[in-house]
Amino acid sequence: MADARDAPRESLSQSPYRHWLTGLGTEVGTFLAFGLFVSAVAALIVVLLQG
Amino acid sequence: MWIRLRIADLETIVHYTGIFVAGIGAVMVVPLATAVLAAEWAPAMDYLLGIGVALVVGLSMALVRPAQHRITHAHALMIAAFSWLACSLVAAVPLAFSPNYASYLDAVFDALSGLTTSGLTVVSDLDHMAYSHNMWRHLTHLIGGQGIIVAALSLAIGLRGGAFALYLAEARDEKVLPNVVNTARFIWFVTAVYVAAGTAVLFVLNLVRGMVLSRAGLQAFWMVIAAYDTGGFAPQSQNQLYYHSAIFEIVTVTLMMAGTLNFNLHAAVWRGNRKEIFRNIETRTLAFSILAISLIVSLGLAATQYYDAVPSVIRKGVYHVFSAHTGTGHQTLYPSQWAGDFGQLAFIGILLAMGLGGGMSSTGGGIKALRVGLLFKAISNNVREAISPRSALVQTRYHHIRDKVLTPELTVSVLIFFTLFVLSYVTGTIVGTGYGSPLMDAAFESVSASANVGLSTGITGPAMPTGLKLLYIVQMWIGRLEFIAVLALFGYVLTALRPSRTS
């Protein structure tokens, strides 16, 4: 195994990660939508049970 | 057969462990600066002493020069197991001088709980803890969540041959980038973005709610670290309940989910492959499991006396499913309410969520969603084989970053990890029951410790018997490193103690 310090480096700015902001937006949007969906299903269950 | 370690092997292990211990001392500069800025002079002395101990111990160990710098897989496992323990022992030094800890063992408990991002705590009078000690407790989440070895790799400090072996030994499954140093740096890049964004949002919320500037900023930073690193510590004894804010809960749940997402998945999405988040077996398993357990918990809460209204089902039920499943452990209940007011069905749902855990190569703990998904694939594969003609070749595929085939070797590996986690959960339950705790409470605490969650029914506290403290310390340590590194350490120690056979 080569020395960790000698390995070729892939700079973030060069970068396959130039989409990081849209990636972040996708993740946060997905998490919020999923949380809302789970909460809505839970609420529906309770309303149906008590209705 | 176990290979007996030689002096040269021990030199390698001691040398690299020393580097990590010294690194812990370097990070203690942050709570020291906090103490100076807040004019907390007694804690400032604690951190000066802590830095001194860490540097003297760490650099003395690092001065042991290994005969060869190449780190084998066996070395990496031993270094990972040993350095996590050694770093916890050193990180506990300044906490032990705080009046909030009754003994050095209690300080070690919290330091290890912080580094393993468990969040179980034996602190006393947390509401009056010095800013600097709170800063250190939460920083242990940040260091441990990303990984002590990942932290060192990202700076490439003193690590020569074998960096990838070390990376894997810290319970990571694969590199995100072709080079392990850049992989470590990417992990910190994702963390920095989420921590900065989350802190900004919670800081504004705290200000709006009337906190003074410094307190608003510090509490926002600490809660974000604890949520994103799926840790569970909080600066107030009421934990998340202290804030009484639905928006605060939404922000922290978003951070918990980001923290429990596999870093390989972050990399794919941040490279522009946005569909990966919907196709990946791990996110699909996690989503299905969170939804199914939320339904169980909702059904359970609907039948209770106190939490049967829709807002309560969401803020006490669904919130805790996310907190438990991601391995975070933030809670909006008093510990005593779990066993009483929460209802048995909902309680079992939370227990299940903790045990299953979050994503691989993330800050989360537990069995992990990828393994759970693969286990169900393996069961489906076996059923298909049973009903197919003998000559048919049954092959099961799954998607994790790319399309892959489920091999028998992978299935065995999944089953081994599943069994080890369940054994750990059961062992902790038996010992906890032996100490007089009710069965379900003991099971809850045991799963919480092994899966590095941090939710507590109240068993964990300063008055807990020493034996239980030691048990949960071992469970948190072994669970964070996913057994193999710690079991390898035990194996080598036992081999070393056995008299050697001479022919």
- From B250, B277, B294, residue closest to A27, measured CB to CB: B277
Q: Which residues of B touch A24 (CB under 8 A)?
A: 193-194, 197, 270
Q: Does A36 touch chain B (CB under 8 A)?
A: no
- B400-436 exposure pattern, b = at least 16 Cβ within 10 A, e = fewer: bbeeeebeeebbeebeebbebbeebbeebbebbbeee
Contacts of B300 (CB under 8 A, 6+ apart): B317, B342, B343, B344, B345, B346, B347, B348, B349
Q: Looking at chain B, which residue has its C-alpha nearest residue A50?
A: B302
- Is the residue at A28 inside a domain? yes
List alpha helices for B159-240, DSSP H.
163-169, 180-208, 213-228
> How many other CB atoms are there within 10 angstroms of residue B398's CB atom?
18
As a whole number of angstroms, the distance between CA B224 and CA B233 comes to 10
Q: How far is B160 from chain A (nearest CA, A)?
A: 4
- Is the residue at A3 inside a domain? no
Which site among A34, A36, A37, A47 would you substitute to test the B interface, given the most B Cβ atoms closer than 10 Å to its Cβ?
A: A34
Contacts of B468 (CB under 8 A, 6+ apart): B431, B432, B435, B459, B460
Predicted local confidence at residue B182, as pLDDT:
77
> Based on the number of CB atoms within 10 Å of its own CB, is B192 exposed (0-12), middle (13-18) or buried (19 or more)?
exposed
- Residue B341 DSSP class: T
Q: What residues does each domain of chain B span?
A: 1-170+482-503
Q: Does A51 touch chain B (CB under 8 A)?
A: no
Q: Using 50, 70 and 90 to split pLDDT, how confident is the model at A6? A: very low
Residue A13 pLDDT greater than 60, yes or no = no
Cα torsion B59, B60, B66, B70: sign: negative
Predicted local confidence at residue B66, as pLDDT:
81
Predicted local confidence at residue B288, as pLDDT:
97
As a whole number of angstroms, the distance between CA B303 and CA B316 comes to 14
Q: Which residues of A touch B310 (CB under 8 A)?
A: 43, 46-47
Q: Looking at chain B, which residue has its C-alpha nearest residue A10?
A: B182
As a whole number of angstroms, the distance between CA B115 and CA B402 comes to 32
Q: Tell me which residue range forms the domain holding A26.
A: 20-50
Q: Is B201 helix (H, G, I), strand (E, B) or coil?
A: helix
- From B250, B278, B310, residue closest to A43, measured CB to CB: B310
Q: Which residues of A touch B272 (CB under 8 A)?
A: 16, 19, 22-23
Query: Within a 13 Å sphere around the CA of B110, how many CA atoms are in the beta-carbon half?
Result: 28
Q: How far is A43 from chain B (nearest CA, A)?
A: 5
Q: How many CB pairs under 8 A join A and B?
A: 128
Q: How far is B77 from chain A (nearest CA, A)?
A: 16
Predicted local confidence at residue B170, as pLDDT:
67
Token pair listed for B9: 């092997």
- From A4, A30, A47, residue closest to B310, measured CB to CB: A47
Q: How far is B429 from chain A (nearest CA, A)?
A: 30
Which site among A39, A45, A49 would you substitute to test the B interface, given the most B Cβ atoms closer than 10 Å to its Cβ?
A: A39
As a whole number of angstroms, the distance between CA A39 and CA A31 comes to 12
- Is the residue at A13 inside a domain? no
Predicted local confidence at residue B391, as pLDDT:
84
List alpha helices for B435-465, DSSP H.
439-450
Q: Which residues of A touch B270 (CB under 8 A)?
A: 17, 19-20, 23-24
Please answer whether residues B432 and B459 qualify as being in contact, where contact means their C-beta atoms are separated by less than 8 angstroms. yes
Please choose, from the candidates B166, B197, B150, B160, the residue with its C-alpha nearest in 3D space to the C-alpha of residue B74.
B166
φ/ψ bin of B405: left (φ > 0), alpha (ψ from -120 to 50), beta (otherwise): beta
Contacts of A46-51 with C-beta under 8 Å, sequence gap 24+, read: A46/B298, A46/B301, A46/B302, A46/B308, A46/B309, A46/B310, A46/B313, A47/B310, A49/B299, A49/B302, A50/B302, A50/B308
Structural domain total, chain A: 1
> How many other CB atoms are there within 10 angstroms of residue B484's CB atom?
18
**How confident is the prediction along chain B (503 residues), in pLDDT tens digits per residue?**
566 778 888 888 899 899 999 999 999 999 999 999 999 999 999 999 999 999 999 999 999 988 776 778 888 888 888 899 999 999 999 999 999 999 999 999 999 999 999 999 999 999 999 999 999 999 999 999 887 777 666 665 555 556 666 666 666 666 666 567 777 888 889 999 999 999 999 999 999 999 999 999 999 999 999 999 999 999 999 999 999 999 999 999 999 999 999 988 998 999 888 899 999 999 999 999 999 999 999 999 998 988 889 999 999 999 999 999 999 999 999 998 988 888 899 999 999 999 999 998 888 889 999 999 999 999 999 999 999 888 888 889 999 988 999 999 999 999 999 999 999 999 999 999 999 999 999 999 999 999 999 999 999 999 999 999 999 999 999 999 888 888 888 888 888 777 766 54
Please choose, from the candidates B368, B353, B275, the residue with its C-alpha nearest in 3D space to the C-alpha of residue B317.
B353
- Is the residue at A15 inside a domain? no
Q: Which residue has the tokens 């949520």?
A: B227
Q: Does A25 touch chain B (CB under 8 A)?
A: no
Predicted local confidence at residue B410, as pLDDT:
92
As a whole number of angstroms, the distance between CA B448 and CA B317 comes to 17
Q: Does A42 touch chain B (CB under 8 A)?
A: yes
Q: Which residue has the tokens 């990946």?
A: B280
Q: Which residues of A touch B189 (CB under 8 A)?
A: 12, 17, 20
Check residues B9 and A15 and name the one with the higher pLDDT.
B9
- From A5, A35, A50, residue closest to B253, measured CB to CB: A35
Please choose, from the candidates B337, B364, B334, the residue with its C-alpha nearest in 3D space to the C-alpha of residue B450.
B364
As a whole number of angstroms, the distance between CA B357 and CA B454 comes to 12
CA triple B382-B383-B386, angle to 5 deg: 85
